[in-house]
Amino acid sequence: MSETHDEDAAPVPGEAQPGGPEPAERLHRLQRRLAEFAAARGWQPYHTPKNLAVALSVEAAELVEIFQWLTPEQSAKVMEKPESAHRVADEVADVLAYLLQFCEVLGVDVLDALAAKIERNELRFPVADTPTPNRHSSE
């Protein structure tokens, strides 16, 4: 896009943005920008749930590819190198962009969906349970 959107500029991680929009509002603005970007280019016919899910999967795979052959120790330090940090940030942005577009098309409020999922997981995995090393939330 040729327009500048200072209100959507990257914030400093962990730092509040004085006078800036709330995170939920900022997310909504970015989601609208993505929809407007696609509309301006006539891409809506291609932004079906199936196509967006596939694109999301491809972008997630590109993120995985960065870490594919790294040791756990190397993967923990990936953001220390500017080149790999830039690649990770780009792929994270791609994954989020396709996820937001997918949610837009299907009418899913991503923040409500995440909050509901966290609540279900808190009930499913109460703190009183002693975690076992081989048990994960995907089980």
Alpha-carbon dihedral sign for residues 128, 131, 135, 138: positive
Residue 4's pLDDT is 46
Quickly list H helices, the chain: 23-40, 49-67, 72-76, 82-106, 110-124
Residue 118's pLDDT is 97
Dump pLDDT digits (tens) for 43-82: 999 999 999 999 999 999 999 999 999 999 999 999 999 9
The answer, yes or no, to whether residue 136 has pLDDT greater than 80, is no
Quickly count: other Cβ atoms within 10 Å of residue 99's Cβ. 19
Dump pLDDT digits (tens) for 78-114: 999 999 999 999 999 999 999 999 999 999 999 999 9
